Structure 1
Amino acid sequence: MEKIALQYARFLTREVPVGNIPMGGFNPIRIQSMTTTDTMDTKGTVEQTIRMVNSGCEYVRITAPSMKEAENLRNIKKELRFRGYDVPLVADIHFTPNAAETAARIVEKVRVNPGNYADKKRFKNIIYTGLAYQAELERIYKKFTPLVKICKEYGTAMRIGTNHGSLSDRIMSQYGDTPRGMVESAMEFIRMCEDQNYYNLVISMKASNTQVMVQAYRLLVATMIKEGMNYPLHLGVTEAGDGEDGRIKSAVGIGTLLEDGLGDTIRVSLTEDPEFEAPVAKALADRYQRRSQLQVEAAGQLEIEKEHILVKDLPYTLFTYNRRQTLPVQHIGGNSHPIVMLDVAAQNLKDPYFLTAAGYKYDALLDKYNMADQACDLVYLADALPSFSFPGNLKQIYNYHTWLGLKDKTNCHPLINLADNTVELVKDPSLNIFSVETAAFNSEAAALQIEQIKLLPSNAVLLLKTEAINGMAAQRAFFIALLNAEIKIPVIIKGSYPLLNTDDLMLYAATDLGALLTDGFGDGVWIDAPMVKLPLINATSFGILQATRTRISKAEYISCPSCGRTLFDLQETTQLIRSRTDHLKGIKIGIMGCIVNGPGEMADADYGYVGTGPGKITLYRGKEVYKKNVNTSNALDDLIRLIKDDGKWIEVKKQ
């Protein structure tokens, strides 16, 4: 068994000074966020920055879309220092090199987007010869060099921040809309910096699609390793949204990479006030601080590098999504979407509430159940027996001896400990779930378990449990063992969180289960969290599947977190759009505060709602403009009319 599959190994990066708070190396994972105020509003920006620092931000990013905002960063910084706050400031730059050059003389770090610093995006396909492409790189080099020289002179750090949605036409034409294109976009700028002996760099590969994001960061690190680089990584999911969805989606993307040992600073992008982002980022980072300390105590740099997952020989790829092939059992595995399993053993089975909480709508007058889009597929009752009939499509799982004693076993199936399995044991003719523990999963235990699994009947499904502190890695080790043994039995992943509250559950479960699903592992999920109410467990389960793009059960909102460029109230608008469209299963709507974030940043969306001026909205169908300069008072109605014209509108059923 691969040692790395069981141990946390942080990718050790170059330390980069950012003001008085260095990043990378053996430093803690840094927390940051971005202001939403108008940068010309010095007082408002200072006040918001102070709230962000007090909430846990170690760096604060401020947009500088033009020269006047870049110059005003001096006033903001001066006032912050006067009030006793020396937090490093980061200037966020798009399209305006002269603003970046001005800001680099003032703040501790500048962020540039290689997709629009010296390039353009007009969704045009351009065919380049080798000489023509090199000429473009030389043009960009000349435009980019002044900023690099200023950063060197003033000791200013730089983030090269690639965004999936704002890749330039040049990169898109050469590499396509791919993680490889994202990586090459950044690497071109990194090489230009190194050519001038400038190394105070931080790199990011952001996307709203968590699969693309994870693949791009992994590919970036693999590429850097080949070229002898180890720059710090800024992690973030763009346009994650708000509320539970935004937190789950952020945790899936960021948490998966943290589990890989990647990430030196985190920004959680929520369509909420920025002071609410830092606590979420800190909760994600804190899980790995102790692991990092243990790693430093136990191993030197060379040993750490040898053990990192990105340099191991694995039986699957880390850079593309391929679901593990399994043979279907009932509706589990094969080509079926991952199922959701819930523990209802502790519920009052005389009260139909527990089924309502599991996604089934109960109508007392008609005395029947109606399945909702987020209705669980399996319920675990342990040894409890209900006093009424279940919906016909809902399968019930019982502990083996309780199941054996049931007179009517219709839709009832046993849960059997793998270690207790024998040939003589009575099996269900259609579905048997065998639980396996991965806490002590080492080479000898793995070999024994694999041999036991090979003896299971063809209608077997595995339930993968773990009590390990580094549980995701232990479960990943199990999947690697199955791949190496060419075993195609479906697997339900169980995450156990006996002491977690609601907020931490969303983040931890999304990290642990989301990381495995992102790698193509898992045919179902079971979140066991006795301290959390059943409706939230059910919603979190479906939210994780939605965020990993493995099962779509609701509308998705790709909404940006707002900044000083935003032209309308994003939080209010997002909630308004959600209130009228959240019943449209599978529809993706991008809600962007300005043209910088749209249409590129919402490249995955079916429809876009983008601020283009005070009180004006441009609507998109995919990447194409549908209607320009729509008054905000009419924009939502026009968006709904567009969805109806495309035949994708569904009327809400009256209850």
Structure 2
Amino acid sequence: MNKTYCPSLTEYKRRVARVVNIGGVPMGGDYPIRVQSMTTVDTMDTLGSVEQTLRMVEAGCEYVRITAPSVKEAQNLLEIRKELRKRGCNVPLIADIHFTPNAAELAARIVEKVRVNPGNYADKKKFEEIEYTDSSYAAEVERIRARFRPLVQICKQYGTAMRIGTNHGSLSDRILSRYGDTPLGMVESALEFLRLCEEENYYDVVLSMKASNTQVMVQAYRLLVQKLDEEGLQPYPLHLGVTEAGEAEDGRIKSAVGIGTLLEDGLGDTVRVSLTEAPEAEAPVARMLISRYVDRAALAQPIRPLVGEEPLHPFQYLRRPTHEVLNFGGLNVPRVIVDLARLPQLEYADLRAAGHLYSPFLDKFQMSDQGADYIYTGERPVAFMLPNGLKEIVNFRAWVDAGRRSHHYPIMTADRYMEEEVLHPQLNFLMLSLDTLDAALLRRLRADLTVVPVIAATNAHAMPELRRLFFELITNEIHCPVIINRAYPDQPLEQTQLDAATDIGGLLIDGLGDGVGLDTSALAPRSQQAWLDTLATLNQLSFGILQAARTRMSKTEYISCPSCGRTLFDLQETTAMIRKRTDHLKGIKIGIMGCIVNGPGEMADADYGYVGVGKGKIALYRGQDVIKKAVPEERAVDELIELMREDGKWIEKELVDEPMGV
């Protein structure tokens, strides 16, 4: 199988896409990766839309998308455009279309670009399993092509660009019947539309493959690039985004895991970060993601080229097979390690930095779903008994000096590892980088059932270097579990969130990694309290990355849309309210959608859904099935909880918060 999906797996090279000119702001080719977002004001509110657009442009948006759910909103795009131009704002406008081809055809005459969703545009979506024969399938495709062709011809006539944007949750019944709920189905949904565009000699097209599930999203974009090359189609620009990413830290981490993974491989020509926040908050996050790649090629150190075929399946999640070492590898979830080595002193209460909360009154630790599995204490092992489930890593010399204690686990350099014959009988950690691997070390790793490498890189192109190290282990049939270790300098927390989610999440997406550690060695000294706060934040970040990559679920996941002019309730306020009532439900996924367009389809992965269906009216879903219709908004959260209770999924919050013994 052809696995090629990017210019290089080891060298930073941006994919050279066809240039598409959008209102004088070109995309693709050698042009910068562009930033965009979408308004949340009602499209019929001309002045409100204009004012919000101006704020978005001020925040860094180079394109602004506005919903046009019907002809009247499409027509009002003209008034919005006129007012913006009157105020000296020439930002290209994009009309967002779902179910209304006539609105798209009108908008294409007014704005610089239209976005259509193949699963909603003239296709059928009723969440039914329908058996299509080859002839009936072909007939449906031809019907859709006939409905889509006029829009293509209008865009070609007016010089209007188009985004063919597939959403994971909006695949039609026809696509689902043949391809299933898969990345291949997402790609084929877009290619049906794209082939018609090329038949009409229309090439001003941008493509996207959005999903809330980061694994699915990354696989779909990769497969899209591979299919474009395979079919000899144009290398169209890519619009990157994780749909319904959520809010705050979770939304940023999830966006970075998906978008950053693709940017690392040189894919992507424009970015939209979908946060359940004001749209002007999205552009700065997108800029921070993109900024890492401006000088990447110049700053990157050479990485040993890959010999032979990539040993991974880039279009499907398969975790790297490993043998079990204590509680690493095998069928265990990835573990979290917190670096406490730089704390001046360590007491019971300080373990809160690792997610383990101590109650002096009860003399007990509270168990937590975000309690680290290991702490690293360097040269100073803790002087007290740790709570159940928490284990300690110490430097090799400290382990020897303390009498090679069985409840401490040593970490050592490659040189020390190769010299020593007496190691811990159960678990030994090995600091490892790509340049330290040689034939002798590989032989010992293959034979050692107690070793867990802790891999690191100083390369600016770190994620591909670490991935290359994994390739070396795979091709040499070495199955030891591996911890991914990254260190970041003092910089804004938001930047560290994005960088770590990209570097670590990009590996986890490919099934690589059995543990996560965020090294503090690059951070400046600080007070004890400041260290505790920093370490607690890094611990939460580690768990957040694992959750966003879908490799370890430790908290409730909210699949909430970023709002737009179709939204029927205050998304930020409602999301906060639902989070307050349900954030103790580990592993439950709740979709919060402002309208039926972003309803059951867009939250394809959600266990439960809260969807606006009218002013003050909410529909509640179990998966993709509507269970309660038109619930008054003031009762909707209680009804949602009752639905979980009926399914045996509800746990009272006070039971979760109750302290547990050591």
User: Once the 2 structures are TM-superposed, how far is the Cα of residue 260 of structure 1 from its aligned partner?
Assistant: 1.6
1:269 and 2:274 correspond: yes
Supply the RMSD in Å over aligned alpha carbons: 2.0
Q: 1:131 aligns with which of 131, 135, 144?
A: 135
**Where does residue 503 of structure 1 map in the other structure?**
494
Matches within 5 A, 1:326-365: 326-365=322-361
Which AA in structure 1 matches 2:501? Answer: A
1:404 and 2:395 correspond: no
**Where does residue 570 of structure 1 map in the other structure?**
571
1:9 and 2:24 correspond: no
**Where does residue 374 of structure 2 map in the other structure?**
378
Identity of aligned residues (%): 58
Quickly say closer, same or farther: Cα 1:468–1:82, change in 2 above 3 A: same
User: Once the 2 structures are TM-superposed, how far is the Cα of residue 423 of structure 1 from its aligned partner?
Assistant: 5.1
User: Once the 2 structures are TM-superposed, how far is the Cα of residue 428 of structure 1 from its aligned partner?
Assistant: 0.8
Quickly say closer, same or farther: Cα 1:446–1:7, change in 2 above 3 A: farther
Quickly say closer, same or farther: Cα 1:546–1:294, change in 2 above 3 A: closer
Q: Are 2:183 and 2:216, in contact at CA under 8 Å, matched by a contact in 1?
A: yes
Instruction: Name the CA distance, whole Å, in 2 between partners of 1:644 and 1:349.
Output: 45
Matches within 5 A, 1:43-442: 43-228=47-232, 229-291=234-296, 313-407=309-403, 409-422=405-418, 424-438=420-434, 440=435
Q: 1:40 aligns with which of 38, 41, 44?
A: 44
Instruction: Name the CA distance, whole Å, in 2 between partners of 1:609 and 1:419.
Output: 56
User: Once the 2 structures are TM-superposed, how far is the Cα of residue 325 of structure 1 from its aligned partner?
Assistant: 0.4
Instruction: Could you tell me which runs of 5 or more consecutive residues in structure 1 were left unpaired when the two chains were aligned.
Output: 300-306
Matches within 5 A, 1:588-599: 588-599=589-600
Quickly say closer, same or farther: Cα 1:505–1:312, change in 2 above 3 A: farther
Calculate the TM-score normalised by the size of structure 2.
0.94
Instruction: Name the CA distance, whole Å, in 1 between partners of 2:105 and 2:82.
Output: 19
1:649 and 2:650 correspond: yes
Q: Are 2:241 and 2:255, in contact at CA under 8 Å, matched by a contact in 1?
A: yes
Q: Are 2:10 and 2:464, in contact at CA under 8 Å, matched by a contact in 1?
A: yes
Cα deviation digits, residues 200-246 of structure 1 (max 9, x gap): 00000000000000110000000001122200000000111001000
Cα deviation digits, residues 551-578 of structure 1 (max 9, x gap): 0111100000000000000000000000
Instruction: Name the CA distance, whole Å, in 2 between partners of 1:254 and 1:233.
Output: 11
1:472 and 2:463 correspond: yes
Q: Are 1:204 and 1:235, in contact at CA under 8 Å, matched by a contact in 2?
A: yes
1:459 and 2:463 correspond: no
Q: Are 2:296 and 2:460, in contact at CA under 8 Å, matched by a contact in 1?
A: no
User: Once the 2 structures are TM-superposed, how far is the Cα of residue 294 of structure 1 from its aligned partner?
Assistant: 7.8
User: Once the 2 structures are TM-superposed, how far is the Cα of residue 346 of structure 1 from its aligned partner?
Assistant: 1.4
Which AA in structure 2 matches 1:322? Answer: L
Q: Are 2:446 and 2:477, in contact at CA under 8 Å, matched by a contact in 1?
A: no
Cα deviation digits, residues 254-307 of structure 1 (max 9, x gap): 011111211100000000000000000110011112126789xx99xxxxxxx9
Instruction: Name the CA distance, whole Å, in 1 between partners of 2:419 and 2:383.
Output: 33
Instruction: Name the CA distance, whole Å, in 1 between partners of 2:334 and 2:389.
Output: 16
**Where does residue 583 of structure 1 map in the other structure?**
584
Quickly say closer, same or farther: Cα 1:90–1:535, change in 2 above 3 A: same
Instruction: Name the CA distance, whole Å, in 2 between partners of 1:63 and 1:271.
Output: 16
User: Once the 2 structures are TM-superposed, how far is the Cα of residue 599 of structure 1 from its aligned partner?
Assistant: 0.6
Which AA in structure 2 matches 1:454? Answer: R
Instruction: Name the CA distance, whole Å, in 1 between partners of 2:404 and 2:390.
Output: 15
1:638 and 2:639 correspond: yes
1:493 and 2:484 correspond: yes
User: Once the 2 structures are TM-superposed, how far is the Cα of residue 598 of structure 1 from its aligned partner?
Assistant: 0.7
Instruction: Name the CA distance, whole Å, in 2 between partners of 1:395 and 1:350.
Output: 15
Instruction: Could you tell me which runs of 5 or more consecutive residues in structure 2 were left unpaired when the two chains were aligned.
Output: 525-532
Quickly say closer, same or farther: Cα 1:219–1:386, change in 2 above 3 A: same
Quickly say closer, same or farther: Cα 1:354–1:425, change in 2 above 3 A: farther
Worse-matched range after superposition: 415-424 or 318-327: 415-424
Instruction: Name the CA distance, whole Å, in 1 between partners of 2:181 and 2:8.
Output: 31
Instruction: Name the CA distance, whole Å, in 2 between partners of 1:533 and 1:582.
Output: 23
Which AA in structure 2 matches 1:537? Answer: L
**Where does residue 609 of structure 2 map in the other structure?**
608
Which AA in structure 1 matches 2:316? Answer: T
Q: Are 2:28 and 2:237, in contact at CA under 8 Å, matched by a contact in 1?
A: yes
User: Once the 2 structures are TM-superposed, how far is the Cα of residue 365 of structure 1 from its aligned partner?
Assistant: 1.0
User: Once the 2 structures are TM-superposed, how far is the Cα of residue 347 of structure 1 from its aligned partner?
Assistant: 1.9
Instruction: Name the CA distance, whole Å, in 2 between partners of 1:293 and 1:199.
Output: 32
1:29 and 2:33 correspond: yes
Quickly say closer, same or farther: Cα 1:105–1:449, change in 2 above 3 A: farther
User: Once the 2 structures are TM-superposed, how far is the Cα of residue 388 of structure 1 from its aligned partner?
Assistant: 2.4
**Where does residue 450 of structure 1 map in the other structure?**
442
**Where does residue 302 of structure 1 map in the other structure?**
none
**Where does residue 528 of structure 2 map in the other structure?**
none
SS in 1 for 2:653: coil
Instruction: Name the CA distance, whole Å, in 1 between partners of 2:393 and 2:492.
Output: 26
SS in 2 for 1:618: strand
Quickly say closer, same or farther: Cα 1:437–1:293, change in 2 above 3 A: closer
Instruction: Name the CA distance, whole Å, in 2 between partners of 1:34 and 1:431.
Output: 50
SS in 2 for 1:602: coil
Q: Are 2:18 and 2:236, in contact at CA under 8 Å, matched by a contact in 1?
A: yes
SS in 2 for 1:17: strand
Q: Are 2:609 and 2:622, in contact at CA under 8 Å, matched by a contact in 1?
A: yes
User: Once the 2 structures are TM-superposed, how far is the Cα of residue 403 of structure 1 from its aligned partner?
Assistant: 0.9
Instruction: Name the CA distance, whole Å, in 2 between partners of 1:149 and 1:294.
Output: 45
SS in 2 for 1:159: strand
Quickly say closer, same or farther: Cα 1:408–1:427, change in 2 above 3 A: closer
Cα deviation digits, residues 570-615 of structure 1 (max 9, x gap): 0000000000000000111000000001110011111000000000
**Where does residue 519 of structure 2 map in the other structure?**
528
Which AA in structure 1 matches 2:628? Answer: K
Quickly say closer, same or farther: Cα 1:227–1:196, change in 2 above 3 A: same
Instruction: Name the CA distance, whole Å, in 1 between partners of 2:31 and 2:439.
Output: 39
User: Once the 2 structures are TM-superposed, how far is the Cα of residue 499 of structure 1 from its aligned partner?
Assistant: 3.0
Quickly say closer, same or farther: Cα 1:231–1:414, change in 2 above 3 A: same
Calculate the TM-score normalised by the size of structure 1.
0.95
Which AA in structure 2 matches 1:126? Answer: I
Instruction: Name the CA distance, whole Å, in 1 between partners of 2:428 and 2:491.
Output: 30
Q: Are 1:29 and 1:289, in contact at CA under 8 Å, matched by a contact in 2?
A: no
SS in 1 for 2:295: helix
Instruction: Name the CA distance, whole Å, in 2 between partners of 1:449 and 1:195.
Output: 56
Which AA in structure 2 matches 1:450? Answer: L
SS in 2 for 1:53: helix
Quickly say closer, same or farther: Cα 1:312–1:596, change in 2 above 3 A: farther
User: Once the 2 structures are TM-superposed, how far is the Cα of residue 408 of structure 1 from its aligned partner?
Assistant: 7.3
Which AA in structure 2 matches 1:321? Answer: Y
SS in 2 for 1:482: helix
User: Once the 2 structures are TM-superposed, how far is the Cα of residue 425 of structure 1 from its aligned partner?
Assistant: 3.9
